[in-house]
Structure formats: structure tokens, C-alpha cells
Chain A
Amino acid sequence: MTGLEVAGLGYSYGARQALSEVSFRVRPGEFCALLGPNGAGKSTLFNLLTRLFVSPTGRITIAGHDLAKTPRRALARLGIVFQQSTLDLDLTVRQNLAYFAALHGMSGREARTRIDAALDRLDMRVRAHETCRALNGGHRRRTEIARALIHNPDVLLLDEPTVGLDAAARAAITDHVHALADDGVTVLWATHLTDEVRPDDRLVILHQSRILADGTARHIAGDTTLRKRFLHLTGAPA
């Protein structure tokens, strides 16, 4: 099994359980939305998936590489877009991408070719020489997604990537990332917004540290809207 596999994952901050027995699989080329209200444990899960935290229980496999046993190989196959912007605003788009490429050991012609390809994929090539401070929120996000693609990752993680964006930018980013999944990239998209999930998307609902539902969004929604179903499952007033 390639793609992303999470088995029996748990994590706690002292006495407070943040994740408990979390298991799911995302197949290669699948777009999987990880839906959960604030505080559900999404950020903790992302910190574990990116090895910023290490869990004493459970197993994470990225593109066939066990994150605990072969972390460098697993991280090399992983693209990450963090919720909080990680761009250096004083550098240009290209400089930001070149820095990231170097952190993955790429330089020279190879780095340039890959940076151009990633920028083209997100329609950001024309802005390559602008400083990130001059970009709007949507373009900054696209820069971060392009950056996460430079090393051709098998698995792409995005932690609430549309936070703070207007409706048009949100729709554009969602479309771009769905297109990436169509091209074969395994995508895990964390969000608390049901309108970012399409009926045919794979959906995992996380609530109070546990998985509440796992299936296609259409199947989980059943005969009601996904929003109503989500609010019902998480016990929030509709």
C-alpha cells in the first residue's frame, strides 16, 4: 500500500488526550478531506504526520516508508502546506522556493527546472520575481503549494490552507489541489469548512480526538447536506 496510512495513532498533552486510536488510509491519487471542528485534533495529527511530534503509539506510513523507522525517506516523499504561512516575506517567490529546494538537497539547474514546473502548475510563474510581501493572500497560498510540490512528493498535506482567503481564492485553491489529486498526488486536506468537500471526495471526520466517520462525502452525508450531517455528528446546533 502506498499513499498515506495511519494506524492506531494516539497522542496526549499530559492528561489531555488529543488523539485516540486514529486509523485511516488514503489511496494514491485520492483527495481526502479531514473534517473536524476547531480543537478536534487536526493540528496534532498534522504535527505527527510531519514528525514535528513523535507519537509513542501507532504507525504512520508515507508512500510506503515508515515515518518512525525511516523518517528521512518518508519526509522526502511528503509535501506540506502549513496552516500558518511559512514564507519569508522579504524574499521573492523564486528565492523562497529555491531555499526550500536547497533544504531538499536540490540546487542549480535541477532546482530551477523543478521550481519553474511547480510555479507553472499553480499559474504563479509570472509572479516569480515579486517579493512575497507584495502578494495577496491567495497568491501566497499558491506559492506555498507550489513550494510543497518542488520535490514531486507522493503525498501532499494541507492544514486548513484556505484560512483567511476570500471565496474566489478559496475556490481557486480547492480546484488546484483537486487537480493535483487527479494527476496522481495523494492529498490530505484538513478543514473545518464543509463547502470545501466535494461529494466524491474521500472524507474522514475527526471529533474530540477520535474518528467519527470515514467514507465518501456523498455516503457520509446520506440524504441530507454534508453540513447538516457534520453538525449532527459533532453535536453542534444546526
Chain B
Amino acid sequence: MTPFLTSLRAIVAREALRFLHQRERFVAALVRPLVWLLVFAAGFRAALGLSIIPPYQTYITYETYILPGLCGMIVLFNGMQSSLSLVYDREMGSMKLLLTSPLPRWWLLFAKLAGSTAISVLQVYAFLAIAAAFGITLPPLGYVTVLPALVMAGLMLGALGLVLSSFIRQLENFAGVMNFVIFPMFFLSSALYPLWKMAESSKLLHDICAVNPFTHAVELIRFALYAQFNGWALLWVLLATAGFTALALRGYDPARTRIARRG
């Protein structure tokens, strides 16, 4: 095995091991979207009328509509959780061990990203399994075709987490930044309501939702869950991933001292 693959395997395995050690994190990651799905969506089912929009072929329940958004929510929260653990690593000093490895820094960051994405994907499948148990099911093929969409969304949001971790200096600052990232990203997206509904309320909010990369990650997942391909959403996700990755590499550049100063 090459040094690159050896290090990738070790970093991903360590992320997975850390996740397994934090059982409450796993439970929280599942409870959060399930509350939305089984409580919030049930309450709003009567209030919100949804027309037939792609990829749906028939009228759908609100639970069915927000299922892809909640998959996105899991990936979003996990990306931010990974970012938090990177800031923690830096505070604890273990980030230094990674950054002084003789492998290219971009590869080490990619390995971190891959680890975070793998955990996101596992969480989403666990969520989909529980949703299916409650009767919210998808076409069987959708469970397979959603995998690449989840990987893409995981990489994009993991890269955003890397960017944030490179700029957040202290663990104490994390909660504030999260509130300014997670909530706007989630609520200003198509996760909970279709964009045309938003346009009825406010053109400005609709436009913000339309450029939010998270909207496109959710739409990519939504189409993939029905074994359909949304090229526009994929393009947006790819562009956002490239942008976030470039910023992360810049943030972790040793010629810029933010990382080393703290950890």
C-alpha cells in the first residue's frame, strides 16, 4: 500500500473510531432530523400544500418533501461537527501531529474530509432506515443512487467545515460561528420548503436561497433519492466544493500562521 493510501486509511479509521466512542453524538445526529420528520413535518402537513414539482410525479406528503432536506441537515451538522473536532484537535495539540507528517498537506486535509464524509453517509443511511420503518419510503434504486450525491454533499460541507476550522481561533468562538452558518444555511434553502413557495413570500429571500450551496446539495440529494440526476445542482455543488477547498488550503497554509499559533 502506498504511503498516501496508508495515511488515508488511518485518518478515516481514526475519525470513525472517534465517532464510535461518542455514542451520544450518533444519537443526537439521528434524533435531530427524526424530530423534524416525525413531529414538525406531521404538524405542518396540513398547513403546507405542495404542488407537483420535479422529481416528484404525484402529490407528496410534507414528510416526503423534507426527507432529502433532513438528509442534508445530517450532512451539514456532521460537517460542522468535524470542524469543531478540528478546532479541538488544534487546542489539544494533536493537529500538529498531522500537519508535521511528511505527506502533502492537501492530502492530509483531503483524508480528514474523506473521514468526515464517510461518517455523514453512514448517519444518513441510518436515518433513512428509521424513516422507512415509520413508513416514509423511497424507490429502492434511490437508496443506491443517493450515495454519490451524499458523498458530494459531504465533501462540500466538510470543506466548509475545514475553512471554518482554519479561521476559528478558539473553541469558545465556535458556537457563535455555528449559529451564523448552520441556521442561515439550513433555513435559507429548499430543505423545508420549495423555492417557489419562498418566492411567493419574498423575492429577495428566494434569490438568497437560490445561491445558497446548501440548497443545491439538498436538490442533488432529492433528485438522487428518486434515481434522477440534477446537473445544475451538481455544478453548483462542485463549484462550492472547489471554492471551499481553495479557502481551506489557504487557511492551512504554513506561510499563514493561524494554525500554528494555537496548536
Interface, chain A (partner B; CB < 8 A): 13, 47, 50-54, 71-73, 75-76, 78, 80, 82, 84-88, 90-91, 98-100, 102-108
Counted as pairs of residues, one from A and one from B, with CB atoms less than 8 Å apart, the total is 82
B259 near A105: Cβ-Cβ < 8 Å: no
Which residues from chain B contact A47 at a C-beta distance below 8 Å? 260
A52 near B98: Cβ-Cβ < 8 Å: no
Q: Is B137 an interface residue (CB 8 A)?
A: no
B97 near A100: Cβ-Cβ < 8 Å: yes
The proximity string for B residues 86-128 relative to A, scoring 1 for CB distances below 8 Å and 0 otherwise, is: 0000001110111111111000100000000000000000000
B257 near A98: Cβ-Cβ < 8 Å: no
Which chain A residue lies CB-closest to B257? A53
Closest chain B CB from A67 CB (angstroms): 10
B254 near A103: Cβ-Cβ < 8 Å: no
Supposing A85-B93, A102-B9 touch, asked if A52 and B14 sit within 8 A by C-beta, the answer is no
- Contact partner of B96 (CB less than 8 A), chosen from A52, A76, A102, is A52
- Sample 21 A-B pairs with CB under 8 A, ordered by A number: A13-B257, A47-B260, A51-B254, A52-B96, A52-B254, A53-B257, A71-B102, A78-B100, A80-B100, A82-B96, A84-B93, A90-B18, A99-B10, A103-B10, A103-B98, A103-B103, A104-B101, A104-B102, A105-B3, A105-B7, A108-B1
In the complex, how many residues of chain B place their beta carbon closer than 8 angstroms to a beta carbon of chain A? 32
Q: Is B255 an interface residue (CB 8 A)?
A: yes
Supposing A102-B6, A104-B3 touch, asked if A73 and B260 sit within 8 A by C-beta, the answer is no
Closest chain B CB from A218 CB (angstroms): 33
Cα–Cα distance between A107 and B6 once the two chains are bound (Å):
7
The proximity string for B residues 2-36 relative to A, scoring 1 for CB distances below 8 Å and 0 otherwise, is: 11101101110010011001000000000000000
- From A13, A53, A91, name the one whose CB has the most chain B CB atoms within 10 angstroms: A53
Which residues from chain A contact B92 at a C-beta distance below 8 Å? 84, 86
Which residues from chain B contact A52 at a C-beta distance below 8 Å? 96, 99-100, 254, 259-260
A72 near B255: Cβ-Cβ < 8 Å: no
Cα–Cα distance between A213 and B93 once the two chains are bound (Å):
31
